[in-house]
Amino acid sequence: MDTSDRDISFDEHGICNHCTQFDEFAGKIWLPNEEGTKKLENLVTQIKKEGQGKKYDSILGLSGGIDSSYLALKAYEWKLRPLVVHVDAGWNSELAVANIEAILKHCDFDLHTHVVDWEEMRDLQLAYLRSGISNQDVPQDHIFFSTLRHFAASNRIRYFLSGGNLSTEGIFPRSWLGSNLDSTNLKSIHRKYGLGKLKNYKTISFFEYYLWYPLVHKIREIRPLNYMPYDKNRALEELQAKIGYKPYRRKHGESLFTKFYQNYWLPEKFGFDKRKPHLSSLIASGQLSRDDALVEMKKPLYEEDELEQDIAFLCKKLRITREEFEQLMKVPNSSYTDFPNWDLRYKLVKRIKNFVETLLGRKIEVSP
């Protein structure tokens, strides 16, 4: 990590705040040891017990990426019975579709696919591009989290199995991006830059996410990968060996838009290279040496012909000309904080959470 994160700080030994925070959280949340194994066994037993007599004992979101795919494989081996939900926001790569099919065939899980209204998704996606903010993945990510929780509540499923993990995602500069969950921010950006109405794109409110679903519906997000020595390369090898999983050329290759946004939009417009926090996370969790990470950083984010193909596809998909695309790339940069958001409410919840943790003497996992 470097000063592309405006909030980065270094101590007298040259160690940045990201590393010290990782070490602080690692011992509380990431447990790749006997303690984690025991916690995971207890969680699996609890999910099975509460799921007795029900068609499904949990819900699992599957994107086709390594984390969620590996979690699906483990859920199968633990003999859990999750309802697998896939949200198709219009940007699936062919390889992602093939990987999802391979996982479902091997695990014999039921799949519910929520296909997002493309006209609304397109309008929202273009609104975000016109806004000039850094986090262009909000339209996809928000509907993913929203759909899973709404669907879990409507089907009375308490346990949401998430592939999120500290091992590969433990370091991230919050100054780069706002929350993907912030429906206040999403709606305000769409009101200003969108052209239509979001009738079928169902958001999730602050109240629903932090209070209604966890307290009333008692939906609990479980991150099993935090309770094991999760290593991304070994996970990929296991997926390849057991189900014939095919790796993507680039990180987040399961989504054609995310691939473009992370490898072109962010570095070109903002100077944010998401390889830095990703590789830093792998270094901090012991999966990669710093020297090897620096070698990775020297590789190009895009090959020229590949970039041209992806831009052409994006323009065709969004129904814009190449000239309009170039104009979007020149839109003045802005921050999510230039629009109404729920940051103040989130900070209040964090204070309450910290107070409760102090009283209980243990860490409570809450998604950002």
CA atoms of 332 and 130, how far apart (whole Å): 9
Residue type, position 89, single letter:
A
Q: Say which residues have a Cβ less than 8 Å from residue 355's Cβ, sequence separation at least 6.
A: none
Q: Please, what are the domains in the chain? A: 27-360 (3.40.50.620)
CA atoms of 84 and 107, how far apart (whole Å): 10
Q: Residue 175: count other Cβ atoms within 10 Å of its Cβ.
A: 14
User: What pLDDT, on a 0 to 100 scale, did the predictor assign at position 347?
Assistant: 83
- Within the chain, strands assigned E span 58-61, 82-88, 111-115, 159-161, 220-222
Q: Tally the residues of the chain.
A: 368
CA atoms of 89 and 116, how far apart (whole Å): 5
Q: What is the pTM of this model?
A: 0.90
Residue by residue, pLDDT tens for the chain (368 residues) are 999 999 999 999 999 999 999 988 887 889 999 999 999 999 999 999 999 999 999 999 999 999 999 999 999 999 999 999 999 999 999 999 999 999 999 999 999 999 999 999 999 999 999 999 999 999 999 999 999 999 999 989 999 999 999 999 999 998 898 899 999 999 999 999 999 999 999 999 999 998 899 889 999 999 999 999 999 999 999 999 999 999 987 676 788 999 999 999 999 999 999 999 999 999 999 999 999 999 999 999 999 999 999 999 999 999 999 999 999 999 999 999 999 999 998 888 777 766 666 665 655 554 44
Q: Residue 330: count other Cβ atoms within 10 Å of its Cβ.
A: 9
CA 93: distance to chain centroid? 17
CA atoms of 40 and 227, how far apart (whole Å): 6
User: What pLDDT, on a 0 to 100 scale, did the predictor assign at position 339?
Assistant: 96
CA atoms of 342 and 213, how far apart (whole Å): 18
Residue type, position 1, single letter:
M
User: What pLDDT, on a 0 to 100 scale, did the predictor assign at position 257?
Assistant: 95
